[in-house]
Structure 1
Amino acid sequence: MTATSSSPAGGSFKDMRKNFLIALGISFTLLQLLFLGNMCYLYGTQYRDGTRFHSLKMLYVDYDGDVVGQSVVDAYGMLSSDEFPSLIQSPASEYPTPKDVKAAVCKGDYWGAVYAHPGASSNLSAALATGNGNRTSLTYIWNGARYPAFSQSAIYSSIMSLVQVTKSAYYARNASNVLATAPLSKNPASLQAFLDPIQATEINIKVTEQGSRVLYNTVSMVMPIIQQFFFMMALNGISAQFHLYTKLGPRRNGLLRMCVSLAFTFIGSLCMAGYIWAYRESWDVNSNQFVLSWMSVWLYMHINFLIVDILTAFIPMQFLPFCILTWAIINVASTISPFELSPGFYRWGYALPAHELYQVLVQIWSDGCEDQLYRALPIMFSWWIACLAIVPFAMSHRCKAALAAEQAASNSSFDNKTTVSLAESTGRDATLHSRQSSTQEIVPQGRRQTAESIRLEHVAYGPSYPTPGVRGDEP
């Protein structure tokens, strides 16, 4: 005969197989849906983003008022599409000097700007006629620190395309006149001017070319959330080892937790600013910007610590991974690309702390350009203040659960002693039926109380892991 494997409680796997498969199927399905939903949300931010380039605005001011200035307009007419940024032409009276054009880009009203120099057409005509003259006709402006990888691939490349097509537009508009009048065959300098009639100079408000720039608005926004979650698990484990929630009241526990969280996020934000600076390469940023970045990240990290503290206090353990992962994904989705390129639904991400942190950092790194403090700081401090108002209730909930767990454990211990006393007082003449009856009445109650104690401990101290090499305060 084949023995049937069974648990110590007496149930065989065959008896529990159905429930096991149901539980496995539920977890299997929920986790698949969790990752599917989150990744669909993240991928949705990039869905057909190239068709929304027209939502990005670039400024054009024509200080020339002649053939070169008009060639830029003609070039944009040839390039204009949903996959090319919108070039908004404004009169020179609205932007009287090139400094005003740069200020418009610096302010963040436009992603880039192009302006035709005063007298550009006459200078080019002189260069074609004599071989001498300034052929720099255009200047373009952009901010390399604003979504650097995206700006490099979309804004900068679009401006380069505009400059190149402007040459073709100039030929179409003026080549016949030049060929008829310019001494191209006699003067090599004139020929060179004809072959390359439109030259442009660049003003990059903040050159950001280091390889690590692609991480600033992606991985760097997720790591602080994961870091706070891991530290929360460690802090809960230490609290469980030393039974802090039953030995200290909610107020003292709350103050202790607040001091620890401020210290941890203070050092964590210093480390984050430190590795950004350590790999900055030739990026021109100074110590003042380092400190401002450090303080901004500190606020962001502490917000996430408080959020994780609240979630781990009130969300049941089986649903906690869903909350933490989703929180991380929606935050990074709000920073991974400009909202202009995402479907309109994603603009609710303005309310998320990660997006506002990145806006603050861009302003710091751009020497004050891209001013979004009027919106970013109120949103971040609103998160911080709201979490500070809720976190005392989370601590009170933990302490109450810890006290209830301790009481349930005491009751279970008392019932176990009662069982032992009952067994000793039972006479040798008692029947087997009377012993089984006593055990069935007392043992299940003790087991229920032990299970309840364990459940309440998980509520109070979860999620957690024990600190390696540290022995707690043994009761």
Structure 2
Amino acid sequence: MQAEKGAVSEDGPAEKGPVSFFDPALGELRKRVYLEWARTVLILCLFVLCVLSLFWGSQFTTEEKLETLNVWVVDFDGKVDPYKTSDPFVGPIITDVAQKYTDSNGLHLGYHIKAASEFDYDPIAVRQAVYDEHAYAAIIVNPNATVLLRDAISTRNTTYDPTGAAQTIVISARDQNTYYSLHPARPEYPPDPNPSYLRPTLSPPMTCVPFYPAVAAPAVTIGLIYLIIIAFFTFPFLMPIHSQFMKADGHPPLNVPHWLIWRIVSNITAYFFLSFFYSLVSLAFEIPFSNPPAPDVIPAENANAYHRGSFVVFWMLNWVGMTALGFPCENMAMILGMPWSSLFLIFWVISNVATGFYPLDLAPGFYRWGYAWPLHRIVEALRTILFGTHSRIGLDFGVLFAWIAVSLAFYPVATFIMRWKMKRGL
């Protein structure tokens, strides 16, 4: 006579088959899994908050320390033969403008007025000093600055170029980031009556949407690499917790469809909290998130696209972005296993960085696939949220959701491959 299900036989209790997620037989296991999952995610969140702060913090005082970028202003005007003159005026005006920058309260470089005699009246010696890294840059007022201007006025020379009055020396290869910091260092002119034809010497280029503050750089560049890495490493941290449901260790195993649903939902929830703590790093370092938007063609600093709601949109973008970046990593980790999945992480980081951080207009046509890569859409949307650039945020979110949909469709296949390999000891 066939024994009833769960009845005691000569071999002991009958083993119960796979059950649903909320089956009472899994009650104790669910509580343990919930606790372990919450503890693991909390540890990861705190780790993200603490460790990423090291990177964001390196950019936090950039504006305050702009004065440490010393720029020499050396006036050779009328001091070198055959252009010696007793009444030069171009050089004194330029040095006066530099001094007013230094005395002003706004952002400015560390301008230092140097006498031509310190360089033996040789402009080449100034170039050598910049090359030898005694200064980050130098503005040299040419010996013939006043002479050429007077000749242009007397002969009515309409082709006269005022930028020829001086030369700017900088070694951009010394540090390209510092080089770009030399340009927007002074957002507005100090009050002065100086002629407008001399302003090109010291004035910054006009920009409608400036990149400011510098601490925002990690949020739209290198910091996003950690978004990929964090998403990748949720798999090895959480998979041992998930696997407890499939072991018949004093309880029946969970059926596979419910196991897949649990893993997907718990992972998306983990990304929700991880992306929040990731976003908090930017908020903690005072990246503006509550400024009102500005007209498209009017210069404005930090014109956040969504005013006081910008941080929420920022967080949601990081959440969706982390999910779009994370599920492909988990799929490949299940298919390839360790250590081969690390190779996919390298590919995933490099392919996203190559197409996300640099303008694809300058890249070979081969890289046009980058427009569909997750990080390119994340960077574009982040710049819209933080700086109010031209918005394609609907398309950006749409591409990210497409990545998530494709990844979830492939998720059962990747799980089947992983279980097939495990059963065969591969």
Please tell me the TM-score bracket, short chain as reference: 0.3 to 0.5
What TM-score does the superposition give when structure 2 sets the normalisation length? 0.46
Largest Rg, 1 or 2: 1
Larger helix proportion, structure 1 or 2? 1
What TM-score does the superposition give when structure 1 sets the normalisation length? 0.42
